């Protein structure tokens, strides 16, 4: 049985995630659970002191869901365990402080306390259940919960991705990891999310613009195109929010969701992020996905799972989605608003033409840190949830495009792996500088 400190996947299809391939065996369930447990018990959520994230849970869960072999799951773990660092021991004095509301916040925002924070949230889940712990710490609507909700969107969406895995796979221990991870992050992204939410409420009588309409307007706005510089350390914080915060907030505030629209708006969000992520190409350089944009895609799969949570209010479900789209818009802006070349998707020639099963067989035996399998799984899920809305103008990605994007994803990471010192992802696709070291298509 899965608990706050024990990972245990299930062979019961009723407990399985939003998107999976059938045929998962008991052996796959057991080995994946064992490896996730080892990671939970022994490793820090950041693999270095610079705050780069441990993706083992993401990689293994996504591959397990796509019916990776036990051997591939084991190899994936062995590749990524080599550079993880051990978590610090629990600090009992800090753990006691966490129970005091006046002391609690003093220990947030640093990775130094990760395992102590993890123990605190394990205790909270043991005491109240994971649903009530989330309600208390993230969704209560008070100052303390809002602080944590902001942190969930920090770190290029990593905490909410981690939470999504905990919720989607029904693993309280992964939920505890997500809460502890969020608590380790800073809250500067609140400088966008909170003012945009306030501004949106002030104009709630107006109809929401579609995501792609806002993307078009941002793309054509010179101030937004020039908000981030290549030399910015963090192009959202030091670029968009430093140079164009007011305009970014104005754009973000023009998007809002009604409770009765949640299912469709989740699909619209997914369609839009896949549209700009796959379309941000730079011929004659090889096809390659942007590293930052893929986090917007990879996180999209979890919002239908959040919508199924019975304890979560409609207002909180709306809030989760609105914040996601507003950050998606800021992320697009932060990479210099690249042209979206949709013909690159429509005209793409797959290296190994196949259906989704062929792509998934390849990506589950591709050994990176988990980004590739997450991307393929999110794209396949996107096709499923967008299908019934594709006749609408704001859904620019249509049925035949999804498989094309899946081929682009696996072909590009496999091609990059054949080169020495070529990354799997381009970083900041709207900047010419980002493509200088990316091979030309003629070199493939």
Q: Per-residue pLDDT tens for 398-444?
A: 999 999 999 999 999 999 999 988 999 999 999 999 999 999 998 88
- Asked if residue 55 and residue 164 are part of one domain, the reply reads yes
Nearest alpha-carbon partner for 417 in 395, 439, 393? 439
- Asked if residue 303 and residue 157 are part of one domain, the reply reads no
pLDDT in tens, 181-225: 999 999 999 999 999 999 999 988 889 999 999 999 999 999 999
The predicted pLDDT at position 40 comes to 97
- Asked if residue 284 and residue 183 are part of one domain, the reply reads no
Give just the sign of the alpha carbon dihedral 150, 155, 161, 163: negative
Q: CA of 155: how far to CAs of 44, 238, 444, in Å?
A: 16, 14, 33
Whose tokens are 């793409």? That residue is 348
Instruction: Establish if 248 belongs to a structural domain.
Output: no
More confident residue, 101 or 145: 145
Interatomic CA distance for residues 119 and 91, integer angstroms = 10
Q: CA of 280: how far to CAs of 36, 230, 298, 411, 429, in Å?
A: 34, 17, 16, 16, 6
- Asked if residue 435 and residue 346 are part of one domain, the reply reads yes
pLDDT in tens, 369-402: 999 999 999 999 999 999 999 999 999 999 999 9
Interatomic CA distance for residues 196 and 215, integer angstroms = 16
Q: What percent of the chain is predicted at pLDDT more than 90?
A: 90
The predicted pLDDT at position 248 comes to 98
Q: Which of 169, 187, 205 is the last residue of a domain?
A: 187
The predicted pLDDT at position 30 comes to 97
Interatomic CA distance for residues 183 and 185, integer angstroms = 6
Interatomic CA distance for residues 427 and 327, integer angstroms = 17
- Asked if residue 311 and residue 183 are part of one domain, the reply reads no
Q: Is the pLDDT of residue 276 over 70?
A: yes
Q: Is the pLDDT of residue 77 over 90?
A: yes
Q: Is the pLDDT of residue 11 over 80?
A: no
Nearest alpha-carbon partner for 291 in 382, 180, 149, 412? 412
The predicted pLDDT at position 13 comes to 66
- What lies within 8 Å, CB to CB, of 261 at 6+ separation is none
By the 10 Å C-beta count (0-12 exposed, 13-18 middle, 19+ buried), 79 is classed as middle
Instruction: Establish if 416 belongs to a structural domain.
Output: yes
- Asked if residue 159 and residue 279 are part of one domain, the reply reads no
The predicted pLDDT at position 100 comes to 85
Nearest alpha-carbon partner for 300 in 316, 281, 282, 277? 277
Q: How confident is the model at residue 159 (pLDDT cuts 50, 70, 90)?
A: very high
Instruction: Establish if 143 belongs to a structural domain.
Output: yes
pLDDT in tens, 299-343: 999 999 999 999 999 999 999 999 999 999 999 999 999 999 999
Nearest alpha-carbon partner for 375 in 269, 287, 297? 297
The predicted pLDDT at position 269 comes to 98
pTM of the model: 0.97
The average confidence (pLDDT) of the chain is 96
- Six-digit token pair at 110? 């640093």
- Asked if residue 137 and residue 284 are part of one domain, the reply reads no
Q: Which of 187, 204, 228 is the last residue of a domain?
A: 187
- Asked if residue 265 and residue 167 are part of one domain, the reply reads no
- Asked if residue 271 and residue 401 are part of one domain, the reply reads yes
Domain count, the chain: 2
Q: Is the pLDDT of residue 163 over 90?
A: yes
DSSP string, 101-134: HHHHGGG-S-GGGHHHHHHHHHHHHHHH-HHHHH
- 24, 64 contact by CB (below 8 A): yes
Interatomic CA distance for residues 281 and 292, integer angstroms = 14
By the 10 Å C-beta count (0-12 exposed, 13-18 middle, 19+ buried), 259 is classed as exposed
Q: Which of 159, 187, 215 is the last residue of a domain?
A: 187
The predicted pLDDT at position 279 comes to 98
- Asked if residue 278 and residue 168 are part of one domain, the reply reads no
- What lies within 8 Å, CB to CB, of 79 at 6+ separation is 367, 368
Interatomic CA distance for residues 400 and 394, integer angstroms = 16
- Asked if residue 152 and residue 16 are part of one domain, the reply reads yes
Instruction: Establish if 292 belongs to a structural domain.
Output: yes
Q: How far is CA 358 from its chain centroid? A: 24
Nearest alpha-carbon partner for 137 in 115, 113, 108? 108
More confident residue, 11 or 242: 242
Q: How large is the angle between the packed helices 245-253 and 190-202, nearest 10 degrees?
A: 50
Q: Give the 3-state secondary structure of residue 55.
A: coil
- Six-digit token pair at 348? 């793409």
Q: How confident is the model at residue 88 (pLDDT cuts 50, 70, 90)?
A: confident
- 73, 64 contact by CB (below 8 A): yes
Interatomic CA distance for residues 285 and 243, integer angstroms = 30
The predicted pLDDT at position 327 comes to 98
The predicted pLDDT at position 267 comes to 98
Instruction: Establish if 210 belongs to a structural domain.
Output: no
- Asked if residue 262 and residue 176 are part of one domain, the reply reads no
Q: How far is CA 335 from its chain centroid? A: 17
Range of the structural domain that residue 27 is part of: 1-187
Instruction: Establish if 249 belongs to a structural domain.
Output: no
Q: Angle 181-185-190 (CA atoms, 0-180°, nearest 5)?
A: 125
Mean pLDDT of 36-54: 93
């Amino acid at each position: 049985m899965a608990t706050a400190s024990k990972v245990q996947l299930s062979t019961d299809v009723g407990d399985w995630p939003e998107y999976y391939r059938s045929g998962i065996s008991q052996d796959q369930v057991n080995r994946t659970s064992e490896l996730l447990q080892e990671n939970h018990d022994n490793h820090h959520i950041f693999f270095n002191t610079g705050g780069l994230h441990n993706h083992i849970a993401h990689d293994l869960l996504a591959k397990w869901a796509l019916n990776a072999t036990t051997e591939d799951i084991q190899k994936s773990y062995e590749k990524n365990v080599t550079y993880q660092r051990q978590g610090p021991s629990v600090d009992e004095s800090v753990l006691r402080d966490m129970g005091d509301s006046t002391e609690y916040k003093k220990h947030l925002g640093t990775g130094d306390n990760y395992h102590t924070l993890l123990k605190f949230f394990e205790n909270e889940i043991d005491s109240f259940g994971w649903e009530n712990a989330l309600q208390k710490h993230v969704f209560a609507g008070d100052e303390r919960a809002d602080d944590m909700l902001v942190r969930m969107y920090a770190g290029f969406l990593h905490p909410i991705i981690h939470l999504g895995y905990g919720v989607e796979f029904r693993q309280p221990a992964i939920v505890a990891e997500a809460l502890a991870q969020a608590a380790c992050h800073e809250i500067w992204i609140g400088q966008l999310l909170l003012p945009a939410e306030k501004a949106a409420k002030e104009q709630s009588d107006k109809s929401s613009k579609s995501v792609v309409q806002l993307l078009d307007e941002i793309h054509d706005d010179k101030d937004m195109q020039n908000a981030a510089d290549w030399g910015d350390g963090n192009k959202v914080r030091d670029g968009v929010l430093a140079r164009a915060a007011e305009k970014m907030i104005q754009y973000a505030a023009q998007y809002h969701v009604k409770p009765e629209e949640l299912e469709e708006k989740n699909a619209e969000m997914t369609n839009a992020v896949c549209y700009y992520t796959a379309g941000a190409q730079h011929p004659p350089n090889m096809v390659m996905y942007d590293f930052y944009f893929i986090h917007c895609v990879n996180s999209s799969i979890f919002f239908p799972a959040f919508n199924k949570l019975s304890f979560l209010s409609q207002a909180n479900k709306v809030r989760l989605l609105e914040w996601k789209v507003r950050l998606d818009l800021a992320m697009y802006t932060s990479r210099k608003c690249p042209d979206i070349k949709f013909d690159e998707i429509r005209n793409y020639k797959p290296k190994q033409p196949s259906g989704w099963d062929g792509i998934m067989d390849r990506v589950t035996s591709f050994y990176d840190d988990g980004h590739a399998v997450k991307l393929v799984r999110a794209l396949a899920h996107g096709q499923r949830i967008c299908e019934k809305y594709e006749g609408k103008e704001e859904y620019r990605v249509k049925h035949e495009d999804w498989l094309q994007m899946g081929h682009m994803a696996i072909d590009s990471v496999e091609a990059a792996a054949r080169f020495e010192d070529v990354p799997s992802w381009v970083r900041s696709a709207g900047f010419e500088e980002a493509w200088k070291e990316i091979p030309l298509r003629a070199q493939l």
